[in-house]
Structure 1
Amino acid sequence: MKFSKLVLPGITMIAVTYGFARFSFGLLLPGINESLEMSEFVSGMISSLFYLAYCFTIILSTVITSKEGPRRMIISAGLSAFVGLLLMSIAPNEWVLALGVLLAGGSTGLVSPPYGAAISLWIKENKQGRANTWINSGTSFGIVLSGLGAIILAPDWRLTYLIYASLTFLILVWNFRAIPKVGASSSLVFKKGNLSIRGVKGAIPLTLASLTLGISTAAFWTFSRTFIEVTGDYSAWQLSGFWVIIGLFGVLGGFSGSLIEKVGLPLAYKLGSLSIASSSIILSFAPENLLMTYLSAGIFGCSYIFLTGVLLVWGIRVFITNASLGIGVPFLLLAVGQVIGSLFAGMFIEVWGYVLSFILYGIIGLAASLIGPKRTA
């Protein structure tokens, strides 16, 4: 299969599920809080639903993909994102918003494992690492577009979500036409994967690293935009620009596959985890300084997408016989960590304030840098 025929629709599907349906919530949260009169604690609870839904659906997707192939789960992901975004756009209260969040968050869990399986099926082996990391970078493109949308449409978050839902439907149709059915070609037969992780060498460090990184990044995704808004004197376009910077620099994370090949997986992981820890700490010391906040956003965007690419490659190397499981395990644990991190972030901020809370999450990121793949990974 031609590289671009699978990778381009893959990038756009990741963009709408991760960028629009999941991570844009932090950008639009101040307007949602004001409209629905939600506290920081309620915001943190609802935000954790993104990750909670992800945890369930990534398990479901990994199992079904391993048995049936990737097409069904990719289409289900697009449908879930579309309905979730539509519900969020019309939410009259926090309960309907929470339902939309569950569906939107679930779409990201559904979409990750099947693309790994699709690449292993239809992309040549020497191009698979590049295909995986570029599809993964679709998150960044989605974040850029969500940031630009907020600048143009601010402060109408309902209209923003409605437009996101419309774009998601179009991309769902594109993927429906682009992803072939397993067995559509006589030369392609999907081999059912082994779902067991018992006794797999390297599985424990991978899961611990993913969990810790998930905790350390949760506060930034959910509350960084609100943090700089309440502590600094920024215009609406500067606040949205903060989000655009996260996405623009995240695109650089698409080169993680090339860097891993040059410096090795252990060093790539170490560089990424130290960088992501520094982003929270930098933001905590200078939230009122536009240059420093944008520097923090750039470091976070680049290092987050880079690290998810590292975890993706690390997972596939650990679970070498099952690409969907290799993606599902680290991404599941990353989401579990983000559930924990989001639940506590709202409470910490209400008790200690933004500065101390972000320093704490930066320290957790530093701890994550101590866990990584070995030279043999």
Structure 2
Amino acid sequence: MKAPSATAYAALGAGLIAMSYGVARFAFGLFVPPIRAELGLTADVMGTVGAMAFVSFALTSLVAAHLADWLGPRGTAMLASGLGIAGLTTISQSAGALPLAIGVFACGVCTGLMMPALSAGLGTSVALPLQGRVTAVMNAGTSFGVAVSVPTAFALANAWRSTYVAFAAVAAACLVAAWRYLPRHASPVGSDGGREVPLARDQFVALARLATVAFGMGVASAVYWVFAPDMVVAQGGMGGGVSGWLWLTLGLAGLIGAMAGDAADRYGAGPAQSLALLVLAAALVIVTLFPGRLAVALSSAALFGVAYMSLTAIYVIAGIRLVPTRAALGPVVPFLAVAVGQAVGSPLAGMLISRFGHATAFLAFAAIAVGTAACLPLFPRTQCRTEPARQ
């Protein structure tokens, strides 16, 4: 099978990421209010359920790079899509917290496998100087997936069970696309005759520093992904339908994150990520101050979408450039750190909301974002060319 061009690979990757990240993982927050109402779940229980996607993502990330090397880009992406089908279907049939958590857990595994699969196939279709840009475009697929989930929910009259059946059908289409278009084997640029190249000590140190700031971002962002719709409904007194507009705005604004790679190359990845973290904090603060105003809530969603998608793009590009001979490993480390942070942050947010209310929880997480932004000296230095990164 002829390898797709760089443009085609970026488009295909964005579609697969849209399903695995946008639909299977992050669209869940859109449906928290109706799921809570129908199943009678409290905020702390829903926080724990929401954390299952982050927990399973983190566990999967520990083996995802090796699995991508073993199964290849095509096999790994097909496995991810199959787990997406299973998880989304299980959610659609859930009658309580346990099956709901199982479905969310499976969706997290789907998410954890997809980016390593696509990264493993980059060298087959994409020249090294273009890999950062292609990766940023693929990463922006998360925003597209979140955005398209909203009109689906509207079209089905906010019937969350029917919506998740439709999402499972999307995952099935992605499985077919992965089988048809992704390369069977990876051909990483810069590899040593196809053999796995050991990491140098300075690469370990740089990845650890990257993981630290990514963890902080994961903690800070968790409250928004799980409880932002709940915030405007419960605290702001808005109707349940506003949740859809919130997520649509977040998804569309997040498409700007596709430009994060070029911006980071021009102004520096470290300063760019600190600025994005401050924008994320601002999104949390303004929705806390004015939860009942639609224009403010939508502005908050737009800021969060731009900040989050830019941050994840910056982290995955940095990871790939820090270990250019291990393409499947590069995005795993920061994404794992983000997921661990979200797994910690989600139940913490639910506990804070149950005990102190939405406003206290959102402001506390905004402070975490600001604190992480202040860790700018910790961010490792990377280069946009083919030379090894400076540490």
| TM-score range for the pair, normalised by the shorter chain length | over 0.9
Question: Alpha-carbon deviations, 1:303-336, whole Å to 9, x = none?
Answer: 1000000001111222232122110000001000
**Using a 3 Å threshold, how does the CA distance of structure 1 residues 195 and 52 change in structure 2: closer, same or farther?**
farther
Match status 1:312 vs 2:316: yes
Aligned to 2:386: none
Aligned to 2:166: 163
Q: Which whole-Å CA distance do the structure 1 matches of 2:200 and 2:252 have between them?
A: 36
Aligned to 2:93: 90
Give aligned-pair identity as a percent: 29
**Using a 3 Å threshold, how does the CA distance of structure 1 residues 122 and 350 change in structure 2: closer, same or farther?**
same
**Does the Cα contact within 8 Å between 2:121 and 2:183 map onto a contact in 1?**
no
What is the CA distance between 1:374 and its match in structure 2? Answer: 4.7
**Does the Cα contact within 8 Å between 1:312 and 1:327 map onto a contact in 2?**
yes
What is the CA distance between 1:65 and its match in structure 2? Answer: 1.9
Aligned to 2:59: 56
What is the CA distance between 1:194 and its match in structure 2? Answer: 4.1
**Does the Cα contact within 8 Å between 2:254 and 2:307 map onto a contact in 1?**
yes
Aligned to 2:362: 358
1:136-215 to 2 correspondences below 5 Å? 136-182=139-185, 191-194=194-197, 198-200=201-203, 201-215=205-219
1:6-85 to 2 correspondences below 5 Å? 6-85=9-88
Match status 1:134 vs 2:145: no
SS in 2 for 1:175: helix
Query: What is the letter of the counterpart of residue 251 of structure 2?
Result: G
Aligned to 2:304: 300
Aligned to 2:374: 370
Match status 1:117 vs 2:120: yes
Q: Which whole-Å CA distance do the structure 2 matches of 1:13 and 1:133 have between them?
A: 14
Query: What is the letter of the counterpart of residue 362 of structure 2?
Result: F
**Structure 1: which 5+ runs fail to align?**
none
**Does the Cα contact within 8 Å between 1:58 and 1:112 map onto a contact in 2?**
no
**Does the Cα contact within 8 Å between 1:48 and 1:339 map onto a contact in 2?**
yes
Of stretches 248-257 and 7-16 in structure 1, the one that deviates more from structure 2 is: 7-16
Match status 1:217 vs 2:221: yes
Of stretches 297-306 and 107-116 in structure 1, the one that deviates more from structure 2 is: 107-116
> TM-score, structure 1 length as denominator?
0.94
Of stretches 197-206 and 139-148 in structure 1, the one that deviates more from structure 2 is: 197-206
**Does the Cα contact within 8 Å between 2:31 and 2:160 map onto a contact in 1?**
yes
**Using a 3 Å threshold, how does the CA distance of structure 1 residues 18 and 190 change in structure 2: closer, same or farther?**
farther
SS in 2 for 1:323: coil
SS in 2 for 1:70: helix
**Using a 3 Å threshold, how does the CA distance of structure 1 residues 192 and 61 change in structure 2: closer, same or farther?**
farther
What is the CA distance between 1:270 and its match in structure 2? Answer: 1.7
Superposition RMSD on alpha carbons, in Å? 1.9
Q: Which whole-Å CA distance do the structure 2 matches of 1:251 and 1:182 have between them?
A: 30
Q: Which whole-Å CA distance do the structure 1 matches of 2:60 and 2:186 have between them?
A: 25
1:312-351 to 2 correspondences below 5 Å? 312-351=316-355
**Does the Cα contact within 8 Å between 2:69 and 2:186 map onto a contact in 1?**
no
2:258 to 254, 260, 265: 254
**Using a 3 Å threshold, how does the CA distance of structure 1 residues 140 and 192 change in structure 2: closer, same or farther?**
farther
Q: How many pairs does the alignment contain?
A: 374
What is the CA distance between 1:232 and its match in structure 2? Answer: 2.1
Aligned to 2:272: 268
Question: Alpha-carbon deviations, 1:241-262, whole Å to 9, x = none?
Answer: 0110000000000111111122
What is the CA distance between 1:58 and its match in structure 2? Answer: 1.6
Match status 1:103 vs 2:91: no
Query: What is the letter of the counterpart of residue 341 of structure 2?
Result: G
Q: Which whole-Å CA distance do the structure 1 matches of 2:109 and 2:97 have between them?
A: 18
**Structure 2: which 5+ runs fail to align?**
382-389
Question: Alpha-carbon deviations, 1:29-87, whole Å to 9, x = none?
Answer: 11111111111111011111000000111222112224453222111111111110011
**Using a 3 Å threshold, how does the CA distance of structure 1 residues 195 and 330 change in structure 2: closer, same or farther?**
farther
Query: What is the letter of the counterpart of residue 347 of structure 1?
Result: M
